[in-house]
Structure 1
């Protein structure tokens, strides 16, 4: 039946505000929905834009609206800056000061886990654009080191650095990386809220399937503000700043650790890491791994 027509479109989560604007101009009413940015309804159609980037359109006019949405995306003359798209997804009214939380090091065999919470104010956005701030995974290390001091000077931030020895102890207790990440996110956020009490909203990347993994760890101050998680959160300015500061700290920690063991420690968990690990064992014995590496990686068994 036409009334039961259901179409699913795969979209970039950052397109949520563009689609919302189109539907809003055409009389759709919006409401909240579980695991979604929004749900919209008109007299003959409904649309739900899920956090993972799935748009589900239902109703007698689903075909027409999917065609309009697709054509609107294809006819866009200028790409939307990720900051603009991400900020359009912020709570209403938009926060004047908010925090972003991000981590680095969880996929690297050598080195620490670093989690940073960074608070920014809306009037700092032009400076962040000028500096070329974005997800640190898309910025070269040399540039990270160059811009990190400017970012630290223009924001309030807190970082949690869990070096390998401590990391291995905590992982042995928890047996779960997401629990460890959740605690570190909560700790960094609580510290930045203490330093910047005017923060009204915080955002982090959703690294666990169950959002309550982090929510259960939130501390006293964090429970008084609006806290969100979503995929591709690094497109938000505050999360992008946290991402760069975290990566900068990881770079310096890796340099110090490399100097300590007398050999450059590669990032990641591929063949260069295996070669470095075997060389370290040959020089210092297998016990060196607990000081420089995350032992629960399968890499440990391959050495």
Structure 2
């Protein structure tokens, strides 16, 4: 049998389980060379960690090693009912310990953006840089910040329903979030370029899922979604001003999910942070990931 080339090995993902205290399990993925800086990727809502792996394979960003995971209650990871935003930090720390990695950078996309910030705030000795991609701010914040002020009508409805409690989030999931790809809803949330990217990458995503032999999730995506949205409207469990690592917020000028006001406001709250805006980009950052990853692994002595 012919051996695969080093490049093929670098672009072949693997899946593994991480045991958490109390007996829960986190399903994680990694791809890339073993001797390059590690980046932790945190997925949005609702989703699993596979999407970031697909983006890496498609772009061939082999200057870093990407590690992602299914968040609690999604994919192959045990649910954690009632979890808060801060509860992502022990998960990331356990993954780093499992891999014997001392320090890594982190990014979070969409509903994972605030989780990347939590990781940077709560694991200052383990996280070197943080990137926030098309994410959202807290429910309320200093200076009159209000989560529901600015997003698209559907996203405003999502947070207003979440403020009513778990049943409000559950109703929204059944009506909207479970049907993201219904054409009537899809075009309210995604610009055409986002839809083109998704269609382009769909065969690769299916191929990688088959290679990894991923089984259907035994857990309820609806329950995980409710836990997510209830965490959004609760206190996050850390102060934005406590983040000390270089942090960059990325936002696409055609984003119909997350409002620019969220990123603008967060930049005023996070020390040592910057905001980068991209024309022709919506909520899908697939095409930009080599750029984001390159910033995340940049030498700390460079701007």
Range of TM-score over shorter length: under 0.3
More helix by percentage? 1
Q: Which has the larger radius of gyration?
A: 1
- Scaled by the length of structure 1, the TM-score of the pair is 0.24
- Scaled by the length of structure 2, the TM-score of the pair is 0.24
